[in-house]
Amino acid sequence: MVKYVLSDLVRVRTLRKDRVERELMAAKERLEEAEKQVPIREKELEDYRKWVDSEIDRLYSEVIRKDVHRGAIDDLATTIRAMRSKEPDYIKRVEDAKEDVKKAKEEVEAKKSELSQVQRDLEKLYAHREQWNEEQAKLEEFASDKEMEESVRQKNQNEEVSLDEVCTAA
């Protein structure tokens, strides 16, 4: 049987489908990892807030029980502002983790869409190959029938020649 004319294209599209499947799996893994980071970052923020609150309480407790001068209170206020100023960094980490999840979801959806398209393209080629194989089988059958007809025709011509020779010889 004749080699399928688009077999190289089928192989390329099969490789492409395999590549997209691997990329989809990798995207799903990245999404899973990104989703794990969100609660971790939220916990870090919560822990930081608790720590800051407890640290402020501790510092106030130290100041309340003592005679302190104005400079110590100013230092305390500066320390508290410094601790509170780090909170936006923790909030940003939570937001970044959520944004990473969003991007990972978009990537997964894009890879799913790409895989769907690649599979449709490959299915079209499979359908074409099946049709082409049927046509090739018909052509081979036709060629075989034609070859058989020529063989029978040639045999009949040889028999006619033999009969003509017998009739001429007689």
pLDDT tens readout for residues 96-155: 999 999 999 999 999 999 999 999 999 999 999 999 999 998 988 998 888 888 888 787
- Domain assignment present for residue 109? The answer is yes
- Domain assignment present for residue 23? The answer is yes
- Tell which phi-psi region holds residue 28, choosing left (phi > 0), alpha (psi between -120 and 50) or beta: alpha
What is the structure's pLDDT at 40?
97
Taking the CB of residue 97, how many other CB atoms lie within 10 A of it?
A: 20
Q: Give the ranges where 7-86 is alpha helix by DSSP (H).
A: 7-64, 70-85
Place of tokens 């074409």: 128
What is the structure's pLDDT at 160?
65
The pTM (predicted TM-score) of the whole model is 0.68
Judged against a pLDDT cut of 70, whether residue 1 lies above it is answered with: no
CATH classification at residue 42: 1.10.287.1700
- Domain assignment present for residue 1? The answer is no
- Domain assignment present for residue 120? The answer is yes
Q: Which residue range is the domain that position 108 belongs to?
A: 7-169
What is the structure's pLDDT at 165?
62
- Domain assignment present for residue 28? The answer is yes
- Domain assignment present for residue 35? The answer is yes
State the average pLDDT for the chain. Answer: 88
- Domain assignment present for residue 14? The answer is yes
- Give the CA distances from residue 26 to residues 61, 112, 117, 140, in Å, rounded to whole numbers and listed in that order: 52, 12, 18, 47
Q: Total domain count for the chain?
A: 1
- Domain assignment present for residue 2? The answer is no
Specify whether the CB–CB gap between 119 and 21 falls below 8 A. Answer: no
